Amino acid sequence: MTTTQEIDGISASLSDRADRYLWGHFARHGAGITPPIVVRGDGAQIWDSNGKSYIDGLSGLFVVQVGHGRRELAEVAAKQAERLAFFPLWSYATPAAIELAERLAGYTPGDLNRVFFTSGGGEAVESAWKLAKQYFKLIGKPGKHKVISRSVAYHGTTQGALAITGIPAFKAPFEPVTPGGLRVPNTNFYRAPAPYDTDINEFGTYCADRIAEAIEFEGPETVAAVFLEPVQNAGGCFPPPPGYFERVREICDQYDVLLVSDEVICAFGRIGSMFACNDFGYTPDMITCAKGLSSGYSPIGAMIASDRLFEPFSDGRTVFGHGYTFGGHPVSSAVALANLDIFEREALNDHVKANAPAFRATLEQLLDLPIVGDVRGEGYFYGIELVTDKAAKGTFNDEESERLLRGFLTPALWEAGLYCRADDRGDPVVQLAPPLICGQKDFDAIYDILRSVLTEAGNLL
């Protein structure tokens, strides 16, 4: 790897070149900010350009389920590229895409058998909303176009998916966004309103019933779909209360509204099954997925729809006028198949289910710290909510978020050897989602770093 070249005739390091040419995603630039440069990974470890190693406590970005450095996945990619590097699915098919679609349909509940491939998760969400709109037009209900999602939820950044995303700060620079997005409460029991803050079952019913209320207020003839993550990511890993999805399914059936399970993060073992809707016992009308499908070794995503939704398009004439050049890319499809082979050969879902209680118990030891208000999540997907006052559940103000989350926690965790996420899209949290190959040794290493850094952060309040 060449680390130095010239910029305007002056010798420049890799960091200098990053500062000059690279535009990072969701990143700050200027004012002396230079991104760390990650050059290598192996298992649950990554290394920077200075040779220092870190625990990958976020699986890259909830992606690298099987761990870094899997030679067989790289070899599969090279072999497929030699045979057929690219061909689109625009009225054609490739063997790898066909086999992957069949494989995915075998993992889904109910009749979710139709797989529409995309390049990533945001595109999968975009595809699901467009399908919902066209489906209802085709069956004679053209007014059904609106979509309901939850407060603080993240569903992507394309103009359509952004309308489903429930984070106002992400929308503001790009308004007006696509019309039709509606918001209901999320399932953060730690901050449940009275009188539902003492009974998680009643809280689940309360949250689900707000969906019915929103449908009634808008008019059932105008609402097409409800988009929900099995465990909501943004805000810090909100699991569903008992009975929540059962009630949501009833509501959607009552009002003829489609239930979309957005599993871009939660699918492929993150909670313990190939699809997390199976973990929580509900059958959606569509699933959106990406990330762990290939463990990040090649970009791919998918929108998986029920046979019922596909039926109006199966008349020999009607077209879903939507697609992506790289959707179902043959190399990515081949890599995804090999990734799923690893899942089955190494029983990674069983590994997550067996070790998730230990991961939870290890993290819950942090609850004795004054700065830690809540530890929540499922499987290998956890959020640690930070507070200024434990008894009052006091949250950070803007200055504290800037000083503690971005100014201290993010660099301090990195310097201590842990890559994870310190986030304040909702209340301030530290998020963890290690590769699914991890076990107690990794949990202990993560815990030790967190305890040290969070103790220091608490002293800075």
* Distance between CA atoms of residues 49 and 52, nearest Å: 8
Beta bridge partners of 431: 383, 421
* Distance between CA atoms of residues 341 and 347, nearest Å: 10
Name the residue with tokens 């190959």. 437
Q: How many CB atoms lie within 10 A of CB 168?
A: 12
Q: What is the pTM of this model?
A: 0.96
Position 220 scores a pLDDT of: 98
* Distance between CA atoms of residues 453 and 460, nearest Å: 11
Q: How does pLDDT run along the chain (461 residues), one tens digit per residue?
A: 556 676 655 556 899 999 999 999 999 999 989 999 999 999 999 999 999 999 999 999 999 999 999 999 999 999 999 999 999 999 999 999 999 999 999 999 999 999 999 999 999 999 999 999 999 999 999 999 999 999 999 999 999 999 999 999 999 999 999 999 999 999 999 999 999 999 999 999 999 999 999 999 999 999 999 999 999 999 999 999 999 999 999 999 999 999 999 999 999 999 999 999 999 999 999 999 999 999 999 999 999 999 999 999 999 999 999 999 999 999 999 999 999 999 999 999 999 999 999 999 999 999 999 999 999 999 999 999 999 999 999 999 999 999 999 999 999 999 999 999 999 988 999 999 999 999 999 999 999 999 999 999 999 98
* Distance between CA atoms of residues 113 and 303, nearest Å: 10
How far from the centroid of its chain's Cα atoms is residue 280's Cα?
17
Name the residue with tokens 């953060």. 188
Q: Pinpoint the alpha helices (H) of 256-394.
A: 276-280, 307-310, 330-345, 348-364
Task: Name residues whose C-beta falls within 8 Å of residue 18's C-beta, 6 or more positions apart in sequence.
Answer: 34, 35, 37
Contact status, residue 270 vs residue 315, Cβ threshold 8 Å: no
Position 8 scores a pLDDT of: 59
Name the residue with tokens 């058998």. 113
Position 347 scores a pLDDT of: 98
At 7 the three-state DSSP class reads: strand
At 212 the three-state DSSP class reads: helix
The amino acid at residue 35 is P
First and final C-alpha spacing in the chain: 43
